[in-house]
């Protein structure tokens, strides 16, 4: 019997359909086919002139920009969604509203070596990447035109990750708070107004008690397959200690986060045959004048987290037409499966 479940953090209903899991060939049949050559990868050490000039690089010992000797490197995207120069120029066109595509679109090259999957970086390297995210976002916050910075990763062709198999992630600063982020903030605030508690903290308490959806847990973080998963093997990583902003975490937490993130990505790689995946950081927008706005309780009501989506199924007309997702394996099953994957 299929079940309808509601995600308490965004109010989205999903259909958890145990019947449809029986359909032949639904899983594990989209293996990655991209092949590329290490010999012409522009992100490898030694080919720095092939990318746009770097915005930032972690170099120890220090050395000149755009040469090798770096550990993590940040460059502008060669195909930016949004451009750093210019005014927003808000205007109307009859019924329609328009503004210029002002923003920032940066690529974080996570390793000088030609390694495709973040799961294969060592924990210390992942920690350096997480520190780089925080450093760049702190810098982008200084530009008053930007309201939000998204951290995301597209691994594999099916995830929109392109054909060059060199591990990297993206930072995108937007001039408006994105609708998806606003929805989450609105629901979290509504829950807080009603209960005086953070919905994510309540979720963490319930998940650590019931345990059936826990993939990994340590002293600082929890990895779960969410109750109302949209996709098979969808995973969220949440800090146990309440905090609305990934960037404001202290450095020690990045070392714990690096450990759990690597372990989750390794379990996905090993257990699901190295599938394409996306991850997305959900963190509070910049709070330059939050006190006077509807978001004045944001530090108490919102809780940053990471969402990881292995790309195992296709999004079809039903999902596109309704925003209702059909997930063909219950999250209790996928959590159990992932707990059993030996890494």
Partner 1 sequence: MGELRRDPVVGRWVIVETEHPDRPENLTQEPHVFKQEGTCQFCYGREAQTPPEIEASRLQGTGANAPGWKVRVIPNKFPALTIEGQLEKRGVGIYDLSNGIGAHEVVIETPEHRKGMADLSDEEVLEVIRKYKSRTLALSQDRRLKYVLIFKNYGESAGASLEHGHSQIIALPMVPKYVLEELEGAKHYFDYRGRCVFCDLLSQELLEKTRIVVENKNFLAFCPFAPRFPFETWIVPKEHNAFFGDISDEQQYHLASILKETLRRCKLVLSDPAYNFFVHHAPIAYEHKERFHWHIEIIPKLTSIAGFEWGTGFYVVSTDPDLTAKYLRETK
User: In the range 212-251, which residues lie near partner 1 by CB under 8 A?
Assistant: 227-228
Q: Which of 140, 203, 298, 335 binds partner 1 (CB under 8 A)?
A: 203
Among 206, 208, 293, 294, the residue binding partner 1 under the rule CB under 8 A is 206
Q: Is the peptide bond before 61 cis (omega within 30 degrees of 0)?
A: yes
- The residue whose two tokens read 């920690």 is 127
DSSP 329: S
Q: Within 13 A of 219's CA, how many CA atoms are on the CB side?
A: 4
d(CA 240, CA 200): 9
User: Does residue number 35 form part of the binding site for partner 1 (CB under 8 A)?
Assistant: no
Q: Which of residues 280-339 bind partner 1 (CB under 8 A)?
A: 280-282, 307, 309, 311, 314-324, 326
Q: Which is nearer to partner 1, 61 or 317 (CB)?
A: 317
84 binds partner 1 (CB under 8 A): no
In 3D space, the residue among 341, 342, 315 whose CA is nearest the CA of residue 328 turns out to be: 315
Q: Could you give the string, one character per residue 91-120, with x where binding to partner 1 holds by CB under 8 A and - elsewhere?
A: --xxxxxxxxx-------------------
* Cα 175-181-182 angle, rounded to 5 deg: 85
What is the rounded distance in angstroms from the CA atom of residue 50 to the CA atom of residue 67? 11
Which of 57, 119, 173, 181 is close enough to bind partner 1 by CB under 8 A?
Answer: 181
Q: For the segment 39-78, give every residue that binds partner 1 (CB under 8 A).
A: none
Out of 42, 69, 76, 80, name the contact with partner 1 by CB under 8 A: 80
Contact between 70 and 50 (Cβ < 8 Å): no
For position 261 contacting partner 1 by CB under 8 A, the verdict is no
Contact predicate 225/234, CB 8 Å = yes
Residues 133-162 that bind partner 1 (CB under 8 A): 148, 150, 152-154, 157-161
């Amino acid at each position: 019997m299929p079940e309808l479940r509601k995600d308490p953090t965004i109010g989205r209903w999903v259909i958890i359909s145990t019947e449809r899991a029986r359909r032949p060939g639904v899983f594990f049949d989209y293996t990655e086919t991209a092949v590329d050559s290490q010999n012409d990868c522009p992100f490898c050490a030694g080919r720095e002139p092939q990318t746009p000039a770097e915005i930032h690089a972690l170099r120890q010992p220090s050395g000149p920009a755009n040469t090798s000797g770096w550990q993590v490197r940040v460059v502008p995207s060669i195909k930016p969604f949004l451009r750093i120069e210019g005014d927003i120029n808000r205007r109307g066109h009859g019924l329609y509203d328009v503004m210029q595509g002002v923003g920032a679109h940066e690529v974080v090259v996570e390793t000088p070596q030609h390694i495709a999957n973040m799961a294969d970086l060592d924990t210390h390297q992942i920690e350096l990447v997480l520190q780089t995210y925080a450093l760049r976002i702190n810098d982008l916050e200084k530009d008053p035109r930007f309201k939000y910075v998204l951290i995301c990763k597209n691994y594999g062709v099916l995830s929109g990750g392109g054909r060059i198999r060199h591990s990297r992630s993206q930072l995108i600063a937007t001039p408006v708070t994105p609708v998806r982020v606003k929805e989450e903030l609105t629901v979290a605030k509504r829950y807080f107004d009603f209960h005086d508690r953070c919905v994510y903290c309540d979720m963490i308490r319930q998940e650590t008690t019931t345990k059936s959806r826990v993939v990994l847990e340590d002293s600082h973080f929890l990895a779960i397959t969410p109750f109302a998963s949209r996709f098979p093997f969808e995973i969220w990583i949440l800090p146990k200690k309440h905090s609305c902003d990934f960037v404001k975490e202290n450095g020690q937490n990045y070392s714990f986060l690096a450990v759990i993130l690597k372990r989750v990505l390794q379990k996905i790689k090993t257990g699901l045959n190295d599938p394409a995946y996306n991850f997305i950081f959900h963190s509070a927008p910049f709070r330059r004048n939050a006190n006077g706005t509807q978001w004045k309780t944001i530090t108490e009501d919102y809780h940053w987290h990471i969402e990881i989506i292995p790309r195992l199924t296709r999004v079809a007309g039903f999902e596109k037409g309704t925003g209702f997702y059909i997930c063909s394996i219950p999250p209790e099953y996928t959590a159990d499966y992932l707990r059993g994957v030996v890494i």
